[in-house]
Amino acid sequence: MKIALERSQLLSALSLVAGVVERRQTLPILGNVLIVAEGEGISLKATDLELEIGTAAQAKIEKPGAVTVPARKLLDICRNLPDGAQINLRTEGERATIVSDRSRFSLSTLSADDFPVMEMGAVELTLDIEQVVLRRLLDKTAFAMAQQDVRYYLNGVLLELQPERLTAVATDGHRLAKVTAGVDAAVTADLEQPLQVIVPGKTVQELRRVLGTEGNMVRLEFSQRTMRLLAGNAVLTSKLVDGRYPEYERVIPKNLERQATVNKELLRAALQRTAILSNEKYKGVRVSFSDSTLALQSNNPEKEEAEDAIEISYQGIETTIGFNVSYVLDVLNVISDDAVEVFFRDGDSSAVWQGEGASDETFVIMPMRL
C-alpha cells in the first residue's frame, strides 16, 4: 500500500475513530486502526469489539491495499506534524513508514485480515433524525447514567421510540433525566408498541463526539442486538445493552403542588459558594424554600458552616430539602433556559427540575438526609 494525503485529512479521520481504542487491550489488534486504500480515498476503522467507528478521507492512492497500524501512535504523529504538512504512507512487509518533509516514522503493523468486523444483523427499524436533535437528547441525559453499576442496564441511555416522538432516559438510582423530541410520524406509524433500546455509556459518549450541532439529517438503524448511526462519512456501530430498563415513569413524581422559579445563574453561584464547606464525601446542601427567598446552608464534620440566600418566585409553605449539590449543578449545566422551575411536595420526596416552560425535559433529584 502506498498513499499520500494532507495532514488535516488524516488527523480529522483519526481523531474521530481513535476514541474507541482502549489503552489496554485483550487483543493487540484492538489497539490498531484499519486503513483500507482503494478508489479515490481511504477508509479508517477502529473497534473494541463492543463498538466500532469508521470514516473516510480523501487521499492519492498510488498503490491500493489494507493494513492496521497502532492508532494512538499514528494519531500522535499527525498531531505533532506542522499544519499543512503532506503525509506519505507506505507499507513493506510488517512495517509501515510515514514520511513528511524531513520527518520519518516506522511503525509495526498487523494483518488487515485479522481485524475484527462487527456484524449488524437484520435491520428491523430505520429512523432519520436531525443530528442536532439527537445530540440534544444525549447531551441532556448522559450525565445521569450510572457508572459501572452492577445493575448493568443503568450504565447507558434508554432510547424509546413511540409514535411521533423519541425519548431519552438515564438514571443512576439517585437522579433521573428524561428528554423528548418529535420525530417523523411516517416512520413510527407502524409501531405496535414502543421500541426500547439501551445504548451503552461508552457508545453514548462517542455518539456525542460524532454528532455535530448542525441541522443535517443522520440515520439510525436498529437490529435486535445492534444499532448503527450513519452521519456523513462516519459510521458508528454498537452492541446494545441486553436487559430490560426499569419503568422510569414510576420514578417521576406526579401532582407536585408546590412550585418555585429561580434564576439559573444566581442559583448556580449560590450552590458553588455554599458547597465549599459541605461534607467532602456527600456534598449535601440544605435548600429552604420560603416566600420569595431560597436559603442555602451546609456544614461539615469540622463544624464549619456556610449560609447563603437568593431571591426566587415562590409563595407557599416553607419547605427544606437536602440535595447533593453536584446533582443539582449537573442539572443546571444542561438546562438551556435562564430560569429554572422546581416542583416539590415536601422535604422527603423527590423534586422535579426543568427549564422554565420546558415541558419536554424532566430532571428528578432524590432528597438527601442531612
Tell me how far apart the alpha carbons of residues 354 and 252 are, in angstroms, rounded to a whole number: 13
169 touches 177 (CB < 8 A): yes
Q: Which residues contact 80 (CB under 8 A, 6 or more apart)?
A: none
DSSP-based three-state secondary structure for 198: strand
Which pLDDT score, from 0 to 100, does residue 105 have?
98
248 touches 176 (CB < 8 A): yes
Which pLDDT score, from 0 to 100, does residue 192 have?
79
> How do the domains of the chain map onto residue ranges?
2-114, 125-249, 253-365
Map grid coordinates 414510576 to a residue: 250
- Give me 66's grid cell: 489494507
Fold for 2-114, please state it. Answer: DNA Polymerase III; Chain A, domain 2 (3.10.150)
Tell me how far apart the alpha carbons of residues 42 and 9 are, in angstroms, rounded to a whole number: 10
* Dihedral in degrees, nearest 10, Cα atoms 206, 209, 213, 219: -40
- Give me 40's grid cell: 479515490
Domains 2-114 and 125-249 share a fold: yes
Which pLDDT score, from 0 to 100, does residue 168 have?
98
Map grid coordinates 494525503 to a residue: 5
Which pLDDT score, from 0 to 100, does residue 156 have?
97
125-249 has CATH 3.40.50.300 classification: no
Please give the full DSSP string across 99-157, using - where no structure is assigned. Answer: EETTEEEEEE-B-GGG----------EEEEEEHHHHHHHHHTTGGGS-SS-SSGGGSEE
Q: How far is CA 326 from the centre of its chain?
A: 18
Q: What share of the chain is helix, strand, coil (3-state, %, to 5)?
A: 25, 45, 35
Map grid coordinates 432516559 to a residue: 169
**171 - beta bridge partners?**
176
**Exposure string over 206-222, b if 16+ CB within 10 A, otherwise e:** bbeebbeeeeeebebbb
Please calculate the CA angle 74-77-81 and round it to the nearest 5 degrees: 145
Q: Is the pTM of this model over 0.75?
A: yes
Which pLDDT score, from 0 to 100, does residue 24 have?
86
Give the count of alpha carbons within 13 A of 341, CB side only: 13
Which pLDDT score, from 0 to 100, does residue 80 have?
97
Beta-carbon neighbour count of residue 144 at 10 Å? 25
H helix or E strand, kind and range, residue 175:
strand 175-182
253-365 has CATH 3.40.50.300 classification: no
Residue 141, CA distances (Å) to 136, 178, 208 in order? 9, 7, 11
Tell me how far apart the alpha carbons of residues 209 and 68 are, in angstroms, rounded to a whole number: 23
pLDDT in 10s for each residue of the chain, 370 residues: 999 999 999 999 999 999 999 888 889 999 999 999 999 899 999 999 999 999 999 999 999 999 999 999 999 999 999 999 999 999 999 999 999 999 999 999 999 999 999 999 999 899 999 999 999 999 999 999 999 999 999 999 999 999 889 999 999 999 999 999 998 876 776 787 889 999 999 999 999 999 987 779 999 999 999 999 999 999 999 999 999 999 999 999 999 999 999 999 999 999 999 999 999 888 999 999 999 999 999 999 999 999 999 999 999 999 999 999 999 999 999 999 999 999 999 999 999 999 999 999 999 999 998 8
Please calculate the CA angle 249-254-256 and round it to the nearest 5 degrees: 150
Which pLDDT score, from 0 to 100, does residue 190 have?
75
Q: Which residues contact 254 (CB under 8 A, 6 or more apart)?
A: none
What are the phi and psi torsion angles at 11 (to 5°)? -65, -45
